[in-house]
Amino acid sequence: MIEKTLVLLKPDAVQRGLMGRIISRFEDAGFKVIGAKMVWMDKEFGKKHYFDVAERRGEQVLKVLLEFMTRGPVMAMCVEGINAVENVRKMVGSTEPKSAQPGTIRGDFAHVSYGYADNNGIGIKNLIHASGNVEEAKQEVGLWFKDEELHSYKTVHEIHIRE
């Protein structure tokens, strides 16, 4: 099943100059970027994206998350491919970088723990957001991208998997 999913390279990924290396991982795996843009998220837009965080994890978590996400630009991407939601999540790794397996994006480029972030009153610097399920992906892609900002094209990988 060909799916679209949202990937956000968070301010820490942008500031550390990891965008190219992270995007290459998705392209190397055969996914294609069909939409991309740099956005400096404001808190109002952040509340739309993280609409359920306060309910699930509390107002303080939402406050810290929004402070982190609005400190610098974010690279928003719509990534497309076979079972993109599940496979991108596998590539990204555990939300807590300390627990992420080597070979995942978070496991290779970050090591911060929830405990460290909580003790310092900061958002967890985990580099990347990827939609959690197919429904969430549809909602998030629709929030971040207009239809005319998403592009269709053929890649060598598509030719390879269809022949």
**What are the residue numbers of the active site?**
129
Query: Is the four-CA dihedral 55, 130, 97, 70 of positive or negative sign?
Result: negative
CA angle 37, 159, 5 (to 5 degrees): 35
Task: Write the burial class of residue 5 (CB in 10 Å: 0-12 exposed, 13-18 middle, 19+ buried).
Answer: buried
Cα(3)–Cα(83) distance, integer angstroms: 6
Alpha helices in the chain (DSSP H): 11-15, 19-28, 43-49, 53-57, 59-69, 84-92, 105-109, 114-119, 134-144, 156-162
d(CA 8, CA 15): 13
- The residue behind tokens 């030719």 is 159
